[in-house]
Homo-oligomer: A and B are copies of this chain.
Amino acid sequence: MPEAGPRTSHLVRVRPVKEDAMRTVNIGLCGLGTVGGGTVRIINRHHDDFLRHAGVDLRIARVCSRHDGMAKELGLYNIWTSDYRDIVNDPDIDIVVELIGGTETAKSVVIDSLNAGKNVVTANKALMASCGHDIFEAADAHDVEVAFEASVGGGIPIIEPLKHSLVSNEITSVLGIVNGTTNYMLTLMDEEGMSYEAALKKAQENGFAEANPTADVDGYDAAAKIAILASIAFNSRVTIDDVPTSGIRSIAPVDLEIAHQMGYVIKLLAAAHRTEGGIEAYVQPAMLPLTHQLAHVKGVMNAIYVTGDAVGDTMFYGPGAGSGPAASAVVGDIIEVARRVSSGTKALVGCTCTDHLPMVKAEDTVARFYIRMRVQDKPGSLAATADAFGSCNVSIATMVQRTSDVDMAEIAYTTHASRVKDVSDAIGVIKTLKQVEDVCTVIRVED
């Protein structure tokens, strides 16, 4: 895809932009990695389009990164600095774009910029999911705005629709496939029967997983994203620490195979529900019916399924990561803020966490589960494990037994809707049984 240079088309006749919208909006860009580079390229390529379409004259006034290599590559060495304070303290900068990531320097960049009266655009999920309160307080105090569409779902518009188009709804649930790495791996395991290890290796080879894949495969990336989405959807602050999280390390191809036989597919689900008692949020592998829209979201694609009291079920689908998609969201936010800055208008939407709903404790919630275990292939094994469920008030819905090795069998149960604490107790009992070698996998079943 050709990306170089400003783009003009002989087909376009320009309608003159109103005089009062012509003020240049100066951008200070912190972080020149993949997304930073993509952001620069979009603004270079479409500067004149944005002027014509949105009435904003964007100018990258200053860039900051630790090393100068990318600045040179992008032809921005003359405005490069390695000290973010050169941006924060520059009185001409209107919008600071934070694309550093993490919660240390990035937090200083964001908070210092807001305190300096500058608007902020960030793609930083970890920061927004852990320090949202402080950030919005600073923004509110200085009557500036923080926009963070790129922090969830890459290029998928989801934060803006929740804050605007769907604001008329009481949102009842948000279900997301918001981590492309794990969705890519689960798709390979599902469609090609790959092991977890082989799928991880392929994801790493293709640049979809880090050398240290913890943040993705253990669900922390997804937890930050669902915390952000839940905060907006339910108008109540949810932080990453509020989200019980388990990842996909224990999933084996046999689980995906059994899921298919039962009419399900396994996805790493980031979920948040509004319940009578407050907000329930979690990240956990889940079986979704093959008829569910989320079941068709494959590979590195993401999707967020939002249910509201008026609208019913909606879904937002697209690429969850990558230079182009993330930069699409970053530049979308920049243009939104720039429209305001250009016209001298204050931010109309600040922090949306006006309510203070309690979090529901995971153990008090009710759900269906799939539980696979390895047991001795002898009389009594099945009865002993089944007894354990019964003794903890967990009622069994289905059971599949397979012989795995000599003398060992695998049993996969699904339960009826049960208290999470009871299921957890039953698993505790099962693990102590002499017939049981291991409880391998615990997966939610969503209907």
Enumerate chain A interface residues (CB-CB to B < 8 A). Answer: 1, 7, 11-15, 38, 42, 46, 49-50, 52-54, 149, 155-157, 160-161, 164-170, 235, 278, 293, 296, 308-319, 322, 324-325, 327-332, 334-336, 339-340, 343, 345-346, 348-349, 352, 354-358
What are the 5 A-B residue pairs with the smallest beta carbon separation, nearest first? Answer: A157-B165, A168-B331, A314-B318, A155-B311, A310-B328
**List of B residues within 8 angstroms of A168 by Cβ:** 42, 46, 50, 327-332, 334-335
Contacts of A235 in B (CB 8 A): 52-53
User: A11 touching B335 by the CB < 8 A rule?
Assistant: no
The answer to whether B167 and A157 have CB atoms under 8 Å apart is no
With A and B bound together, what is the CA distance between A271 and B100 in angstroms?
39
Q: Check if A311 sits within 8 Å of B319, measured CB to CB.
A: yes
Given that A157-B157, A168-B46, A319-B312 are known contacts, is A346 also in contact with B345, CB under 8 Å in the complex? yes
* Inter-chain contacts of A46 with B (CB < 8 A): 168, 170
Main secondary structure, interface of A, reads mixed
Give bound CA distance, A93 to B209, whole Å.
55
Specify which chain B residues have a CB less than 8 angstroms from the CB of A319 in the assembled complex: 311-314
- CB neighbours of A314 from chain B (8 A): 155-157, 316-319
Q: Given the interface contacts A157-B161, A340-B348, does A54 sit within 8 Å of B312 by beta carbon? A: no
Rounded to whole angstroms, the CA-CA distance of A383 and B335 in the bound complex is: 59
Residue of B nearest to A313 (CB): B318
Q: Are A12 and B167 in contact (CB under 8 A)?
A: no
Q: Which residue of the partner chain B has the closest CB to A51?
A: B354
Contact at B42–A355, with CB atoms within 8 Å?
A: no
